Amino acid sequence: MELLGQKPTRFGFGDGLVVLGERHSNVVVLGGDITGSVMTSLFKDKFPDRFFSIGIAEQNATTIAAGLALSGKIPFFASYGAFCALRNADQLRISVAYNEANVKIGGGHAGISVGPDGATHQVLEEVAFLRTLPHMTMIVPADYEEAKKATIAMGEMVGPAYIRFGRSPVPMFTTPDTPFELGKANVIKDGNDVALIASGALVWEAILASQELAKKGISARVINVHTIKPFDFATVTAAARECGAIVTAEEHQVHAGLGGAVAECTAKNAPVPIEFVGVKDSFGGSGEPEELMVKFGLTWKEIYASALVAMERRDKGSSGVRAIKDVPSYA
């Protein structure tokens, strides 16, 4: 797996929207004032007749999108995830999900890698909420190309869907030829000693961790779960059965996000020790993205250390999940 450069996933969203606009005349975009930040400005410039500025009113924009969808349009509404996944939670639940309205939401500036804006804008809880909504598709792309492919895919599927993307540049490692299928996790690297199951920017960190583990003779399987819902039970269950130990990694609260989904899946199908890498029940804060990722324990080092713990628990025949505070940090 090769590093191909750095680019924010939001660029992939913006470019994907333009492709959709060219392909489908019923794709429309609603703006929430921050169109330059979440890259809907690209669509706005190219298709001004299909772009509507709704202003700073996420509840209204989400529900207007439902009305457009019930009229045969494919509306995208994008804002910061803090405001277009949680402030409008009731609208997403009833007007979008219960209605099975063909609404697409782009949630930008996700995670602590937003950086200096601080905790209010660093959404860390929306994956947990969205994956509990019936009918909802929830996507967390890992890099630019995947974000672009995911955006196009969500526009071309029928039903409510949400894509989470970030502000800061992140490593690019997928190419236009890398397979992408909604609901199908990508096994990036094979291995049978431990499974590193990650989403978003943490996929690259999992790859780095697997390289370090390889130096110790440990063969780690790396899985990119780009679609949190519908969840790929088969791939994760197989990883649990064949590796016997799992580490999940995500730029989200450790509760109820990707880690929760993996735990639900394996508890039912193949219980194995799991260690969870994520933000540990706290809010973010200001700082540069790189220093925040270190502060909150979202680097390959935590994944590496957690892999050793998970394997140790497996080998000692331990069961159950360790308390989060017990997870050792990499020293």
Partner 1 sequence: MDVTTKQSLEFNATTFPNERRSPEGFLPIATEIRRDIIRMLVRAGSGHSGGPLGSADIFAVMYFGGYMRYRPEDMQWEGRDRFVLSAGHMAPVMYASLANAGCYPKEEQATLRKYNTRLQGHPGRDMHLPGIETSSGSLGQGISIAVGMAMADKLLDKNDRRVFCLTGDGELQEGSVWEAVMSASHFKLDNFCWIIDNNDCQIDGRVPDVMNVYPIVEKAQSFGCDVIVVEGHDYADLMRGFDRFLQNQANGTGKPTCIVAKTYMGHGVSFMNDKFEWHGKPPSKDQAVAALEELSSI
Any idea which residues carry the catalytic annotation? 58
Stretches 62-70, 161-169, 186-194, 234-242: which one binds partner 1 (CB under 8 A)? 62-70
Q: Does 34 bind partner 1 (CB under 8 A)?
A: no
Strands 246-253 and 227-229: what pairing? unpaired
Pick the binder of partner 1 from 17, 20, 28, 307 (CB under 8 A): 28
Q: C-alpha distances in angstroms, 273 versus 13, 125, 233, 278, 312?
A: 35, 24, 17, 16, 9
Cα–Cα distance for residue pair 246/263, rounded to 1 Å: 9
- 241 token code pair: 């059965």
DSSP 91-159: HIIIIIIITT---EEEEESBSGGG-TT-GGG-B-SHHHHHTTSTT-EEE--SSHHHHHHHHHHHHHSSS
Longest dimension (CA), the chain: 63
Q: Tell me whether residue 93 or residue 280 sits nearer to partner 1 (CB atom).
A: 93
Q: Tell me whether residue 100 or residue 117 sits nearer to partner 1 (CB atom).
A: 100
Pick the binder of partner 1 from 94, 234, 267, 324 (CB under 8 A): 94
Q: Does 104 bind partner 1 (CB under 8 A)?
A: no
- Minimum Å distance from CB 40 to partner 1? 17
* Distance from chain centroid for Cα 130: 11
Stretches 53-61, 124-132, 159-167, 306-314: which one binds partner 1 (CB under 8 A)? 53-61
- Minimum Å distance from CB 53 to partner 1? 9
Ramachandran bin of 3, using left for φ above 0, alpha for ψ from -120 to 50, beta for the remaining angles: beta
Binding residues among 65-84 for partner 1 as defined by CB under 8 A: 65-73, 75
Q: Are 91 and 63 in contact (CB under 8 A)?
A: yes
Q: Does 98 bind partner 1 (CB under 8 A)?
A: yes
Binding site for partner 1 (CB under 8 A): 28, 50, 52, 54-55, 57, 59-60, 62-73, 75, 90-91, 93-95, 98-100
